Amino acid sequence: MKFFPESALVQLEYEKVKILLAEYCRTEYGKAKANSLRIHTKKEFIETELRQGYEYKLVVQSGQYFPNDFMLNVSREIKLLSIPGAVLSGEQFLFIRKLAENTSNIFRWFDNERRMAYPALTKVIENTYYEKTIIELIDDILDESGSVKDSASEELGKIRMSLYRKRNELRREFDRLVAKLNKLGHLADIEESFMNGRRVLAVFAEQKRMIKGVMHGESDSRRTTFIEPEETTELNNEIFSLEHEEGREVYKILRKLTYQLSVYAPLLKTYHDTAGEFDFIYAKAKWAIATGGNFPQLYDKAHVHLINAYHPLLLLYNQKSNKPTIPVNITLNDKNRILVISGPNAGGKTVTLKTVGLLQLMMQSGLLIPVHPDSEMGIFKQIMIHIGDTQSLEFELSTYSSHLKNMKHFMENANGKTLFFIDELGSGSDPNLGGAFAEVIMEELAHKNSFGIVTTHYLNLKVMANKVPGIINGAMQFDEKNLLPMYKLITGKPGSSYTFSIAERIGLEKRLIEKARTLVDEDHFTLDKLLNRTEQDLQKIDIEKKELAHLLKENERLKKEMQQVLNREKHDQEVERLKHQNKLSESQLLYLKDMERRLKAMVIEWRKTDDKDKVVKMIHALLFNQKEKMTNENQQKKLNEKFIEIEGNIQIGDKVRMKQNRQVGIVKEIRGKKCVLQVGVMPITVDLKDVVLVKDKDPEQIIS
């Protein structure tokens, strides 16, 4: 991406973002990449970078552990591996092993399910592989502390066994001498002492001639002399020689191991870069979480549609101060490419301009940005800015001369892939003349199909914005009553500078204000006053729209609640209907069972009695007077409610209730385990176990 001027990134505070991003990095690789963050123009690359940060953000927010714990810088060790004849120490090999182990954990983390869930993160390792031989080679030679194992070579094992024996022999001999000389009172200290790598005795200075051996030194006070006794000199010499052999053998083993791993130097460099790359992506995710960064929809064209966009640095500053930050909404497209923002000073015009510029740079650097996820952003090939005083002492240019020089560059180099920002267009010159040049500049940039944001106080630019295709007005809202900026951008209408309103509110003499008004062109004053009134009306309309939206939302909520009540009522009614149907079905089933039982009783009665006509009449009454019988039975059931169950033995003449259909009858006859009941006009034979003894309720109980 091209920039103008060279200080564009500094003016848009992009460098501050890089510094803050680097603070989240834990590796030298990540910090270096953050400090040299590049701004790209290829959609595929930008989208991959954004998605990687977005996926890592999801990993962090979901509480998952990503196993990238390697933070060391081992680039020097890896470089030494590829140099013929170089030898790495045991500690350096442990660093290499930790790097390989870290890579192993990363590959293990990316199982098939996670590769599907996080395709962008998977791309980091798709061109490499994990080689387990690296760890195996190191583990065969070194222990956990980085020391070469006895089993690393047969020769080393022999040397160390000899060393072990000689040291034990030396220890026994030395202990014998210490015990002997201590009894004689020659030793100043019986603790073990070493000088020049050799075991020595701490002898009183006045007794040093009493002990034969080699003197290795004295204490600072000269009261103690350190002597290697002649009895252990030969053993010390042998041990010294074996230690030298051990060192040479260890060096030989480490050199061989270095040679064996040298073939993996390029792969280890890839591992190192991979660990650093994941650390950098981790930093991007942490930065996104801190600033509320999201992944906007990306388009490979010039386009800006920001919803609830925040300036990240301002957001972080306000969070520390517990202050609210007002988001901005801006749309620049093929129909409305240039936005002219007007309004009072300190109303947020420049902050809005810088917010859009910084977010565009961040997005094209692959950083998630603090906007609503439904925001849309395109890709620009160059950014041009003109913010603040650009007076140049070097070229003896005034503020306005420098301003025109920059505008000349804008008009000569702008195109359809340019995003420009101009703060206070036309300032620094006579308002009429400067305003005229400003109109020409705006028309030329619009003719070049460039995208941009311009801030101004010039009324002529506010007027032309509604006339020239591609240019629209915008205004920063201002609370005229309390004289406070609202930092909210409204597009489509120009804004007032509130010059006279501010003067009145701060208590400037009315005489001076009126005099200033007489000096202003009447049309100019009327237009500014009209803009002032229009903006205030728009603020009232905005408040009313919010109230209306709230009422509509409340109405929708009540509508949903009412619908839920209606649905619940319908459900209850349906349940009651089904219950009623079930009751009818149950009543019919009981009736049919009772009919079956009566017919069986009549068949038995037919066989027993000689009076066949009586039985026929009973059958006729049962089959052809069903409605009447059902009515009588219902009445009988109501009558049955007048009885209560009692304990006792059933006798002839007692009233009993059948358990199944709850009908009450009088016992006419008892036949073993059965009884004959008189129910209405016909007798019924039932089991004694299917009836219970009842008696009439008291009148008071029936009423209650």
Residue 636 is predicted with a pLDDT of 55
Q: Please provide residue 294's backbone torsions phi and psi, each rounded to the nearest 5 degrees.
A: -130, 170
Cα 348 from Cα 327, distance rounded (Å): 11
- Going by C-alpha positions, the residue among 700, 677, 697 that lies closest to residue 687 is 677
- Going by C-alpha positions, the residue among 660, 696, 653 that lies closest to residue 675 is 653
Q: What is the dihedral of CA 592, 596, 602, 604, to 10 degrees?
A: -170
Instruction: Among 106-115, 359-368, 378-387, 648-657, name the one with the lowest average pLDDT.
Output: 648-657
Place 485 in a pLDDT band, splitting at 50, 70 and 90.
low
For the cut 90, the answer to whether the pLDDT of residue 529 exceeds it is no
Place 639 in a pLDDT band, splitting at 50, 70 and 90.
low
Place 347 in a pLDDT band, splitting at 50, 70 and 90.
low
For the cut 50, the answer to whether the pLDDT of residue 78 exceeds it is yes
Peptide bond into 344 cis (omega under 30): no
Q: What is the mean pLDDT of residues 208-214?
A: 71
Look at 166 and 579; give whichever has higher pLDDT. 166
Find where tokens 């068949």 sit: 603
Residue 556 is predicted with a pLDDT of 84
Residue 516 is predicted with a pLDDT of 65
Cα 368 from Cα 377, distance rounded (Å): 12
CATH 3.40.50.150 fits domain 641-703: no
Residue 252 is predicted with a pLDDT of 95
- Evaluate the CA torsion angle 395, 396, 398, 401 in order and state its sign: negative
Residue 584 is predicted with a pLDDT of 54
Look at 192 and 213; give whichever has higher pLDDT. 213
Q: What is the mean pLDDT of residues 281-285?
A: 97
Q: What is the mean pLDDT of the chain?
A: 82
For the cut 70, the answer to whether the pLDDT of residue 494 exceeds it is no
Q: What is the dihedral of CA 407, 410, 413, 414, to 10 degrees?
A: -150
- pTM for the whole structure: 0.68
Show Cβ contacts of residue 426 under 8 Å, excluding neighbours closer than 6 positions.
Answer: 403, 434, 435, 437, 438, 441, 456, 458, 461
Cα 318 from Cα 353, distance rounded (Å): 18
For the cut 50, the answer to whether the pLDDT of residue 704 exceeds it is no
Residue 220 is predicted with a pLDDT of 66
Instruction: Among 248-262, 377-391, 632-646, name the one with the lowest average pLDDT.
Output: 632-646
For domain 304-512, give the fold: Rossmann fold (3.40.50)
For the cut 60, the answer to whether the pLDDT of residue 633 exceeds it is no
For the cut 80, the answer to whether the pLDDT of residue 631 exceeds it is no
Find where tokens 């009858």 sit: 665
Q: What is the mean pLDDT of residues 475-493?
A: 69
For the cut 70, the answer to whether the pLDDT of residue 602 exceeds it is yes
| CATH topology match: 10-131+264-291 vs 151-247 | yes
Residue 395 is predicted with a pLDDT of 38
Report the DSSP beta bridge partners of residue 374.
none
Matching CATH number, 10-131+264-291, of 1.20.950, 1.10.490, 3.10.620, 1.10.1420: 1.10.1420
Query: pLDDT for 126-135, tens place per residue?
Result: 999 999 999 9
Residue 158 is predicted with a pLDDT of 94
User: Under DSSP, is residue 391 helix (H, G, I), strand (E, B) or coil?
Assistant: coil
Q: What is the mean pLDDT of residues 541-561?
A: 80
Residue 76 is predicted with a pLDDT of 94
Determine contact, residues 513/504, Cβ cutoff 8 Å.
yes
Query: pLDDT for 142-157, tens place per residue?
Result: 999 999 999 999 999 9
Q: Percent of the chain having pLDDT more than 90?
A: 44
Query: pLDDT for 584-593, tens place per residue?
Result: 566 667 777 7
For the cut 60, the answer to whether the pLDDT of residue 627 exceeds it is no
Residue 392 is predicted with a pLDDT of 40
Q: What is the dihedral of CA 250, 255, 258, 260, to 10 degrees?
A: -100
Structure tokens at 118: 């996080």
- Going by C-alpha positions, the residue among 372, 248, 353, 256 that lies closest to residue 307 is 372
Q: What is the mean pLDDT of residues 295-306?
A: 95
Residue 379 is predicted with a pLDDT of 96
Give the DSSP H or E segment for 597: helix 522-608
Residue 421 is predicted with a pLDDT of 94
Domain range list for the chain: 10-131+264-291, 151-247, 304-512, 641-703
Q: Percent of the chain having pLDDT more than 70?
A: 79
Find where tokens 């460098």 sit: 15
Q: What is the mean pLDDT of residues 205-212?
A: 71
Report the DSSP pairing between strands 691-696 and 655-658: antiparallel
- Evaluate the CA torsion angle 427, 431, 437, 438 in order and state its sign: positive
Q: What is the dihedral of CA 56, 57, 58, 62, to 10 degrees?
A: 110
Query: pLDDT for 641-661, tens place per residue?
Result: 678 888 888 888 888 888 877
Cβ count near 156 (within 10 Å): 20
Residue 394 is predicted with a pLDDT of 39
Residue 587 is predicted with a pLDDT of 65
Cα 642 from Cα 419, distance rounded (Å): 95
Query: pLDDT for 422-465, tens place per residue?
Result: 988 866 555 566 678 888 888 999 999 999 999 887 777 777 77
Structure tokens at 584: 């009818």
Instruction: Among 279-288, 383-392, 432-441, 530-539, name the one with the lowest average pLDDT.
Output: 530-539
Rounded to a whole number of angstroms, the distance between the first and last alpha carbons of the chain is 95
Cα 312 from Cα 370, distance rounded (Å): 7
Residue 281 is predicted with a pLDDT of 97
Show Cβ contacts of residue 157 under 8 Å, excluding neighbours closer than 6 positions.
Answer: 150, 151
- Going by C-alpha positions, the residue among 637, 302, 356, 626 that lies closest to residue 491 is 356
Look at 199 and 426; give whichever has higher pLDDT. 199
Query: pLDDT for 30-65, tens place per residue?
Result: 999 999 999 999 999 999 999 999 999 999 999 999
User: Under DSSP, is residue 170 helix (H, G, I), strand (E, B) or coil?
Assistant: helix
- 433-455 burial, b at 16+ Cβ within 10 Å, e below that, comes to ebbebbbebbbebbebbbbbbbb
Q: What is the mean pLDDT of residues 515-520?
A: 62
Place 558 in a pLDDT band, splitting at 50, 70 and 90.
confident
Report the DSSP beta bridge partners of residue 199.
194
Structure tokens at 292: 């509320």
For the cut 80, the answer to whether the pLDDT of residue 294 exceeds it is yes
Look at 328 and 183; give whichever has higher pLDDT. 328
CA 39 vs CA 132, 299, 336, 361: distances in Å? 37, 16, 25, 7
In CATH, what number does 151-247 get? 1.10.1420
Find the helix packing angle between 230-262 and 90-109, rounded to 10°: 40
Show Cβ contacts of residue 215 under 8 Å, excluding neighbours closer than 6 positions.
Answer: 208, 225, 226, 227, 228
Place 345 in a pLDDT band, splitting at 50, 70 and 90.
low
CA 56 vs CA 187, 277, 292, 363, 450: distances in Å? 68, 12, 14, 16, 35
Question: SS3 for 82-107, per residue?
Answer: CCCCCCCCHHHHHHHHHHHHHHHHHH
Residue 405 is predicted with a pLDDT of 84
- Evaluate the CA torsion angle 215, 221, 224, 226 in order and state its sign: negative
Cα 392 from Cα 374, distance rounded (Å): 43
Helix spans in 448-521 (H): 459-465, 499-505, 510-519
* Burial class (CB within 10 angstroms; exposed 0-12, middle 13-18, buried 19+) of 5: middle
Q: What is the dihedral of CA 605, 609, 611, 613, to 10 degrees?
A: 20
